[in-house]
Amino acid sequence: MSNVPEIFASQVFNDHVMRQRLPKDIYKALKKTVQMSKPLDKSIANVVASAMKDWAIERGVTHYTHWFQPLTSVTAEKHDSFISPLGDGSVILEFSGKELVQGESDASSFPSGGLRATFEARGYTAWDPTSYAFIKDNTLCIPTAFYSYGGEALDKKTPLLRSMDAINEQALRILRLFGKTDVKRVVTTVGPEQEYFLVERDMFHKRKDLIYTGRTLFGAMPPKGQEMDDHYFGTIKPRVAAFMKELDDELWKLGVLAKTEHNEAAPAQHELAPIFTTTNIAADHNELTMELMQKIAHKHGLACLLHEKPFAGVNGSGKHNNWSLSTDDGANLFEPGESPIENAQFLLFMAAVIKAVDEYQELLRISVATAGNDHRLGAAEAPPAIISMFLGEELEAVLSAIVNEDDDYVHHGKEDFEVGVSVLPKISKDATDRNRTSPFAFTGNKFEFRMLGSASSISDANVVLNTIVAEALCQFADALELSPTVEEDLHNVIQATIVKHKRILFSGDSYSKEWEEEAKRRGLYNLKTTAEALPHFVSEKNVKLFTKHRIFTEVEMHSRLEILMENYNKTVNIEALTALEMIKKEIIPAVCAYMKDLGETASYKQGLNVNISNALELKILSKLSNLSSALFTKAEKLERDMKKIPAEDVKGRADYYKDVIIPDMQAAREIADELETLVGESYWPYPTYGDLLFGVK
C-alpha cells in the first residue's frame, strides 16, 4: 500500500514546498502575483528558480523543460540540463530566473496556421506561475505558455488564461452590483471525466490502423458487444486494477486529484474522474493524465486508446467537462443561495449561461470538433451535434414562473424563497442529473458539457465557455451598471433573457430523431461534421466576440482555423492511406490464401473422384471471389479519388475529404467486414474486435 498523503504531490513544487523553501517576502510576492495573475518580477524569479533547482536536484533531477501545449494534440517539451561550465573543465548546476520565466524555442516545426509566413520562426515560452512546476521522468517541468515573436499565441494555454481573465473581469462587475466588493477574483473550475479503452499491447501492434490512426478502420462486430450491460461498473480485472493503481499513484505524485476509476459501458472501456480544480490546472492535469495513461498501460502490457471512436458499433469515449464559477472566498456562483438577493444573483448567472449557449452554439460545437469526434456525436451513444441545455424540472419551473410573472409560484411544498418578484425553490441535486442525453446539463451547482472527445485537450471548450459567458455577463453589467433601479431591472433582464433564449432549453431525449426535427424548427444549429462546423469560427460575430475580450486577435483566429482544418484533412488522409495499405497488403492477400486452400481442397477432392459441382469449398470460394474483387474495385476508387484531392484552399479539401474520401472508405470497409466473417480465423491478418474488446484477461 502506498502512503497516499505522503506521496501526494511529492513531485510538485507547490504552495506547501514554496512556503518551506522561499524567503517569506519572496513567497508573499510570488503568491500575490499568482492570485492576481500579474507578471512576475525578475528579482523574485531568480530566488524562486534557485529554490526550485535545489529542490529538484535533491530528487535526482538533472534537466529542466518548458512544458507547453502547442496546437497539435500532444504536449511538447525540450530538455535542457542545469549544467553550466566553470571554465576550468568543471561544471556547476544552475537555473536562473530568466530560464524559469522565459524560454526560446524554434517554433518552425509546430503548427502556426500561416503566422510563420509573416512572423519570425522563433517561439517563446513563458512560465504560467498559476500552475505548479513538477518532476516527470527526472526532468523539472515548468508549465508554460507558447507564443510567437510577434506575440501571437501558438498554444492552447494562452487563450485559456486570457479567457479566465475575461470571465473574472465581467463576473466581478456583476458581483459588485450585488455589493460583493470584497471578492477579489472569480475563477472557473473544471473536473474532466476521462474515458479510455485498454487493449492488449501485442494486439495493438498487429493493427496498422490502431498504430497509425488510433482507431480501427475495419472490423466486424463480435457475437457479443455491450448489449448485456455487464461491463458498466462491473468488477475490474486484475491487470486493469493493477494499471489503475499505478496510474493513481503516479498521478497523485504529480498532485493530480484522481478520484474515481471505474469500468464504462463498452467492454474494455474505463473512466477516470479527478476532483475539480482551477481550469488551467485542470487542463494541465488532464494532459498529464492522458500521457501517463499511455505510458503506464505500456508497462502493463496494455495499450491505452484515447481515440473518440476506436471501434465502430461500440460506444466511443468522451470527456465530460464539469464547469463552474467560484469566488476567491470559495463561493460557488451556481449554488442557489439562502436569501432573495443571493437567488437573484444565481438566476442572473444562470441567465448568462443560457444566453451564452444559445447565442454561441456554433462555437461550442467547434470547440469539440475533430475528425475523431465526428464519429461519436450523434451516434446514439453521445450527444448529437445539436447544442441544447438541460436545467432540470425545478429550475425550468422557476424560469417559466419568472416569464409568466407567476408571483404565487410555490414549488412542491418545499422550502422556497423570494427573488425579486418571483420565488426560487431549493434545487435538489438529484433532480438535475436525470437527463444523461443532454449535451449541456446543469447538474446541481455546475454545468456538464458532454460533447468533448476523449483525445482532445479541454482547453478549447473552456476557452469558448469562459468567453461566451463573459460576454453575456458583460452585456448584463453594461445594462445594470447604468440603471437607477437595479432590483427591478434585474428581474427584467432575467425575464427578457429567458424569453429570448428559451429555445435552447430541452429536457427530452436528445438522442431521438424527433429532437433533430424539433431543433430544426427552433432554428438551432446542427453542424454534423467538423468540416461543416469549422468555417463558422471566423464569422463576423465570433471575431467580434474574441477580439473584444482579447482572447484572440483576428490574425490568431484565422491561423487557428487553418490549423484545425489542416488537422482534419491530415487525419482523414492518413486514415485513407492506412485503409488502402491494409486492403492491398493484408486483407486481399489473406482472402487469396484462404481461396487458394479452398481451391486446392476442391481439386484434391476431384482427384479422388469426388463430385465437386456442389462442393462447399467452391461456394465459399465464389463468394469470396466476388467480394474480394468488389473490395478491390472500392479500393481502386478510393485510390483514384485520393489523387483528385483539390489543391486549392483548406476548406475545399476538408469538404472533399468529408464528401468523397470518408464515404469511399466506408464503402470499402463494409465489404472488408463482410469478408472477415467468411474467412477462416487463422487466415485473418490482424486481431478482431472480439480479440481486442475481450482479450484483456
Q: Which is nearer to ligand ADP, 65 or 326 (CB)?
A: 326
- Scan residues 167-196 and list those touching Mg ion (CB under 5 A): 193
276 binds ligand ADP (CB under 6 A): yes
DSSP assignment of 359-406 equals HTHHHHHHTT--HHHHTTTTSSSS--SS--EE--HHHHHHHHHHHTT-
Please write down the long-range contacts of 92-99, taking CB distance under 8 Å and 24 or more positions apart. 93/53, 93/57, 93/62, 94/53, 95/49, 95/50, 95/52, 95/53, 95/64, 95/140, 96/46, 96/49, 97/42, 97/43, 97/44, 97/45, 97/46, 97/47, 97/48, 97/49, 98/42, 98/45, 99/49, 99/64
Q: Identify the sign of the CA torsion 84, 87, 91, 92.
A: negative
- Binding marks (x or -) toward ligand ADP, 611..630, rule CB under 6 A? --------------------
What distance in Å separates the CA atoms of residue 358 and residue 378, rounded to the nearest whole number? 19
Q: Which of 280, 438, 445, 467 binds ligand ADP (CB under 6 A)?
A: 445
- Report which residue's Cβ sits closest to ligand ADP: 191
319 binds ligand ADP (CB under 6 A): no
**Nine cell digits for residue 652:** 475545399
**Closest to 538 (Cα-Cα) out of 456, 426, 650, 633:** 650
Helix and strand numbers (H, E) in the chain are: 26, 20
For 507, phi then psi, to 5°, come to -115, 0
Name the binder of 445 from ligand ADP, Mg ion, none, CB < 5-8 A by kind.
ligand ADP
Q: Which is nearer to ligand ADP, 233 or 604 (CB)?
A: 233
432 binds ligand ADP (CB under 6 A): no
Adjacent-strand bridge partners of 84: 92
- Binding marks (x or -) toward ligand ADP, 160..199, rule CB under 6 A? -----------------------------xxx-x------
E strands in 532-609: none
For 402, phi then psi, to 5°, come to -65, -45
Shortest approach of ligand ADP to residue 164 CB, angstroms?
A: 14
320 binds Mg ion (CB under 5 A): yes
71 binds ligand ADP (CB under 6 A): no
Name the binder of 273 from ligand ADP, Mg ion, none, CB < 5-8 A by kind.
ligand ADP
Name the binder of 252 from Mg ion, ligand ADP, none, CB < 5-8 A by kind.
none
Name the binder of 4 from Mg ion, ligand ADP, none, CB < 5-8 A by kind.
none
Adjacent-strand bridge partners of 126: 102, 145
Q: Which is nearer to ligand ADP, 191 or 267 (CB)?
A: 191
Buried b (16+ CB within 10 A) or exposed e, 496-525: ebbeebbebbbbeebbeeebbebbeebebb
Q: Which of 170, 324, 422, 569 binds ligand ADP (CB under 6 A)?
A: 324
Site size toward ligand ADP (CB under 6 A) is 16
Cα→Cα distances 472→195, 241, 389, Å: 32, 45, 16
466 binds ligand ADP (CB under 6 A): no
9 binds ligand ADP (CB under 6 A): no
- Name the segment binding Mg ion (CB under 5 A); options: 181-189, 319-327, 483-491, 632-640: 319-327
- Scan residues 475-534 and list those touching ligand ADP (CB under 6 A): none
What distance in Å separates the CA atoms of residue 408 and residue 424, rounded to the nearest whole number? 11
Q: Which is nearer to ligand ADP, 196 or 276 (CB)?
A: 276
For 93, phi then psi, to 5°, come to -100, 125
- Name the segment binding ligand ADP (CB under 6 A); options: 215-223, 270-278, 517-525, 653-661: 270-278
Shortest approach of ligand ADP to residue 286 CB, angstroms?
A: 11
**Nine cell digits for residue 199:** 487493449
Name the binder of 491 from ligand ADP, Mg ion, none, CB < 5-8 A by kind.
none
- Name the segment binding Mg ion (CB under 5 A); options: 112-120, 156-164, 213-221, 315-323: 315-323
Interface residues with Mg ion (CB under 5 A) are 193, 320
Q: Would you tell me which residues interact with ligand ADP (CB under 6 A)?
A: 189-191, 193, 273-276, 320, 322-324, 332, 443, 445-446
